[in-house]
Amino acid sequence: MKQVILLTGTSGAGKSTISAELASVYGADWIQEREVSRGLAAEQGFMRSRHWLQAAGIEEVAEQIAAASFRLVSESTKDLVVVDGVYDTKLHSRLEADAGVDSVVAEVTAPFELRAHRYAMRLGGVALGQARREVDYLDSIKTEAGAALLAERAAVSVVNDGQLNEAIDQILKVIQLPLQTNR
């Protein structure tokens, strides 16, 4: 049975870093919903996902992202798939209805100032004030999409305060993957 780990949580919490590590160590497929969104936005003629979101609305965008991500999970030949950046219940509900998939939600959060600093670096060293506004904006979109409803389904919730291995170990213990010593 294919196992799917859905990572949700606040912007800049380290979901992508954790996802990359899990994919690398376990040889899993890694699906980044951020990239799925960018690709779908480009197909619709938008330069940025947020422009597509403003034009189409959160429900339509979330539905298309969930459908595309579900297709990618279904097409994966790996026993383990990590989906990074899931912010609504649509994909999880589809996966739960699929008898060949065992899915689990893991929530990753971090203190706001740490997330803002991470975002400043991700955006190429922008001013911290600008990074804070971006984190607030992204968090508001996730809230509107229903991130809290998905977080309620989480089997594990971890605070990534910079101790990456500890956060990953907490997730692995709950989802019952063997701990790897080669990290």
| Position 80 in a domain | yes
Query: Can you give the pTM of this predicted structure?
Result: 0.91
The CATH number that applies at residue 51 is 3.40.50.300
**Contact in structure between 12 and 110 (CB atoms under 8 Å):** yes
Q: What's residue 179's pLDDT?
A: 53
Q: How many CB atoms lie within 10 A of CB 94?
A: 18
Measured in whole angstroms, how far is the alpha carbon of residue 75 from the centre of its chain?
19
Range of the domain at 115: 2-175
| Position 133 in a domain | yes
Q: Which two tokens stand for residue 161?
A: 């305060």
| Position 49 in a domain | yes
Split into its structural domains, the chain has a count of 1
| Position 160 in a domain | yes
Q: What's residue 182's pLDDT?
A: 52
| Position 182 in a domain | no
pLDDT in tens, the chain (183 residues): 899 999 999 999 999 999 999 999 899 999 999 999 999 999 999 999 999 999 999 999 999 999 999 999 999 999 999 999 999 999 999 999 987 899 999 999 999 999 999 999 998 989 999 999 999 999 999 999 999 999 999 999 999 998 888 999 899 888 876 555 554
| Position 77 in a domain | yes
Provide CB contacts within 8 A for 134, sequence distance 6+: 11, 119, 123
| Position 181 in a domain | no
One DSSP character per residue, 85-99 reads ---SSHHHHHHHH-T
Cα separation, 83 vs 81, whole angstroms: 6
Q: What's residue 183's pLDDT?
A: 47
Cα separation, 113 vs 109, whole angstroms: 12
| Position 20 in a domain | yes
